[in-house]
Amino acid sequence: MEHEDRSGRSRALEGRHALVTGGGSGIGLACARRLAEDGARTTILGRASAVAAAADLRAEGLDVDAVECDLSDVAATRELAERLASEEKIDILVNNAGIIYREPAETHDPREWERVLDVNLRAVWALTQPLGAAMVERGFGRIVTIASLLSFQGGINVVSYATTKHAVVGMTKTLANEWASRGVTVNCIAPGYIATNNTTALREDEAREAEIRSRIPAGRWGTPDDVARAAAFLVGPDAGYVNGHTLVVDGGWLAR
């Protein structure tokens, strides 16, 4: 049953346990805050910044903790996921952590290719498979993976990143086909141009910033909270019949 706190905010996720990866800043931090505000016990999974972010959110009175993990170490990530699946009741998984590497395809560093695939794809699967299997066994779960506009477009000089973002959409559709009848929804969010640390260089380039903003029908860059609100919807009770979907949060960019 949905409750409200004293501020009138919905507590739609009361009694749920959410795991958010890469929640030390930006979109991940906004998602962790929003899910906690909506009543979920929230665990941030990531590097040292995740631990600091969790402490800040606890200082705001939110039920947030952190588990330190290097998601580029896929074997360690899977080991942790298997332990969490057996020891905790994780109801919600938000696969947010991701990295990008820019270099022309003909010279794209093979080591960077592997590093991007490790964080953006292999670690996502290492977490999703054991935690999702536990959700299937319990008959309830919500999984959201942060995709990208480059799940639909190719981009330039980002072949490893675009490959991973296409791949997680395919993974999402397949898992929805297999798990929807067993109470688990699996969806993606494809953010557009969001004002985060990853886009600082673009926003500081006045000509490029103006070019990008001029194509966004909303006339502004997105915020991490724009994405967090979409995540809260997809893991909440109103999205129980939304499955295998990639929700674009881009201010209309793809429509232009």
For 191-224, what is each residue's pLDDT tens digit? 999 999 888 888 999 999 999 999 999 999 999 9
pLDDT of residue 191: 98
pLDDT of residue 1: 42
Residue 246 in contact with residue 151, Cβ under 8 Å?
Answer: yes
For the chain, 256 residues long, give each residue's pLDDT as a single digit of tens. 455 554 556 789 999 999 999 999 999 999 999 999 999 999 999 999 999 999 999 999 999 999 999 999 999 999 999 999 999 999 999 999 999 999 999 999 999 999 999 999 999 999 999 999 999 999 999 999 999 999 999 999 999 999 999 999 999 999 999 999 999 999 999 999 999 988 888 899 999 999 999 999 999 999 999 999 999 999 999 999 999 999 999 999 999 9
Active-site residue 241, yes or no? Answer: no
Of residues 101, 161, 193, 241, which has the active-site annotation?
A: 161
pLDDT of residue 3: 55
pLDDT of residue 2: 52
d(CA 33, CA 98): 19
pLDDT of residue 4: 55
pLDDT of residue 185: 98
Q: Give the domains, in start order, of the chain with CATH numbers.
A: 17-196+224-249 (3.40.50.720)
Strand partners, 4: 10
